[in-house]
Amino acid sequence: MATAEPSSKAASLAGQEYEVEVGPVAHGGHCVARTAEGRVLFVRHTLPGERIVARVTEGREDSRFLRADAVEVLVPSRDRVPAPCPYAAPGRCGGCDWQHVKPGAQRRLKAEVLAEQLRKLAGLGAEDAGWDGTVEPAPGDKLAPGEVPAWRTRVQYAVDEHGRPGLRRHRSHEVEPVERCLIAAEGVAELGVEGREWPGMASVEAIAATGSSDRMVVLTPRPGRRLPLVSLDRPVSVLRAEDAGRRPGRGEPPVHQVHGRAFVRERADDRTWRVSGGGFWQVHPQAAGLLVDAVMRGLTPRKGETALDLYCGAGLFAGALAERVGERGAVLGIESSPRAVRDARHNLASFERVRVEQGTVERVLPRTGITEADLVVLDPPRAGAGREVVRRICGLGARRVAYVACDPAALARDLAEFRAGGYVPRFLRAFDLFPMTHHMECVAILEPADRARNRGGEGA
């Protein structure tokens, strides 16, 4: 989204307060409101339909819009509840957007955001996308108002200048020290990271594997500082990440094993997956299994088919595809992270007709010489795949494509590119795998438009 401060010369409006009626939810964990003078506000800590006092946090006299927090609720929504977390308040932790919202209403808000992005960026209604209009909770996450699911199996704590661990404030580098993050999984909480000081550290990442007892702490020291002696409340592996001061885009930082294993063992799709410290894995304990199930149900792999797993990470979808296409089938994974490629090759070593190539999809896919495939899975980063990758996928003639997305706007933009390339959604599912936040995960199954026309009114 564009900055709210296009000019440094205009007077700042930070601290100005407005009494406003709150309008619809918007992508990013806030709602839209307008002042009496017509100024657009993006407001956190509120809900559609409320009347509030909004205090500006960012923006100037000539800004196209202002950012604000709801500092007083004059007329509350019926979906409002007292925030269970004391840090979920204006000016404090920026991790959770919807602590003040009933769980069912959180999912409705996310559904409204997804519907808006599909309509605005892809020109698709819910029926056009094959979506039933709901955001599905993970099993066990359908809790009563005021309850918080402890779902986050990986938490990266920032450390302030006093060595206290905490989380970043919204749109800020400032650290909010926390004694307990309510959404941290039990295995993370058991490590006791929040209960001690970390002098000289820039960040501490706590990892609790799903399906094994593996626990890990990844420490990032400030420049020139040494690691502290680590004595935590449970047996734990310790790694050192040397990325302090690293500029974005220079590749992943080196990670050095200090104590214990250099990886954790995750469990999904009836297999164990090695994931090195600092590597990517879904943070909700049920996410990997739910997403594999949704992708495989959508693709319906057949024995002997060829498949691509783009942005394959540790090989989760490639392994699921390999199991299902069998010995006569073949799977190619492409991943940019060298660390993840090593993990994927280890995890998939038992499949003779699976290979994993290292590099960006944009560069590697053309040089493989592959001109056709039966199935494609892509799970790109938050920014999406982009036109070049989408057009190349469309040229492979796959009978089905599974797109796994963690950002509804990026998904919608890429769906528009797929439609231009001759592919349309067969169906779409959305999952609430990030409760209390504005994030969600989607799985869209695409097929050639001519096949969809021939299918006519058949269901998914």
335 is in an annotated binding site: yes
- The terminus-to-terminus CA distance of the chain in angstroms comes to 35
Identify whether the C-beta of residue 103 lies closer than 8 Å to the C-beta of residue 404.
no
Q: Does residue 175 sit in helix, strand or coil?
A: strand
Q: Is 406 a catalytic site residue?
A: yes
Identify whether the C-beta of residue 443 lies closer than 8 Å to the C-beta of residue 402.
yes
Cα 185 to Cα 101: distance, rounded to the nearest angstrom: 20
Cα 272 to Cα 435: distance, rounded to the nearest angstrom: 26
Closest-CA residue to 142 (of 172, 177, 90, 107): 107
Cα 447 to Cα 261: distance, rounded to the nearest angstrom: 42
Closest-CA residue to 283 (of 151, 99, 442, 147): 151
Identify whether the C-beta of residue 406 lies closer than 8 Å to the C-beta of residue 439.
yes
Starting at the edge strand found earlier in the chain, the sheet holding 441-448 runs 135-137, 423-432, 441-448, 400-405, 375-378, 306-310, 330-335, 354-358
Cα 445 to Cα 299: distance, rounded to the nearest angstrom: 7
Q: Crossing angle for the helix pair 103-117 and 408-420, nearest 10 degrees?
A: 30
Q: By CB neighbour count within 10 A (0-12 exposed, 13-18 middle, 19+ buried), where does 236 fall?
A: buried
Instruction: Write the DSSP assignment of 353-377 as a string of letters.
Output: TEEEEES-HHHHHHHTT----SEEE
Catalytic residue among 93, 312, 394, 406: 406
Cα 4 to Cα 322: distance, rounded to the nearest angstrom: 47
Instruction: Write the DSSP assignment of 295-338 as a string of letters.
Output: HHHHH---TT-EEEEET-TTTHHHHHHHHHH-TT-EEEEEES-H
Give me 81's structure tokens: 């509840």
Angle (CA) 338 339 343, round 5°: 115
Amino acid, single-letter form, for residue 17: E
Identify whether the C-beta of residue 268 lies closer than 8 Å to the C-beta of residue 280.
no
Cα 402 to Cα 393: distance, rounded to the nearest angstrom: 11
Identify whether the C-beta of residue 98 lies closer than 8 Å to the C-beta of residue 438.
yes
Identify whether the C-beta of residue 222 lies closer than 8 Å to the C-beta of residue 200.
yes
Which residues, other chains included, contact 397 with Cβ-Cβ below 8 Å and sequence gap of 6+? Answer: 372, 373, 448
Q: In DSSP terms, which residues pair with 169 in a beta bridge? A: 93
147 is in an annotated binding site: no
Binding site, residues? 282, 311, 335, 379
Binding site for S-adenosyl-L-methionine, residues? 282, 311, 335, 379
Which residues are catalytic, by number? 406
